[in-house]
Amino acid sequence: MRLSRRTVVIVVSVLCVIVTGCGSLKKFQVAIDSDPQGVRVEVNNDYAGKTPTTYTIPGNSDRSFNGNWVQGSMIEFVATPPAGETNLFVQRKLFRPSAFFQQGDHIPEKIFFDMHVRTEQINISEHL
């Protein structure tokens, strides 16, 4: 079966539009601050800087976190106080990315970490 030249041009054009559309995400700035300032911030285990700082993240045109066809892992912002500091605690903020027919969380313009807040952790132990 031979495809006409016109059919080939249409198929290639449609593929280019799909690939280009998927590859061109907008970039959004997120201002990150903390109390006290100067804490280490990581995004998905990548160093983002010390507060106050800004972080650029690609996202969808509706300012939601970009995802995949399947539900991917959460986007995690972690603030860690300097070693040896007392009464300061690691803080985490989690965001859900977009997935197939599922809207992701909104990319905030600002993120603030209050390092004085002790976060509670639940430990579940199963006894059989």
Q: What is the arithmetic mean of pLDDT over 97-105?
A: 85
Whether the full predicted model's pTM is greater than 0.75, yes or no, is no
Residues contacting 118, CB < 8 A, separation 6+: 89
Q: What is the pLDDT of residues 54-96, one digit of tens each?
A: 999 999 889 998 876 555 688 999 999 998 888 999 999 999 9
Residues contacting 26, CB < 8 A, separation 6+: 58, 59, 60, 61, 63
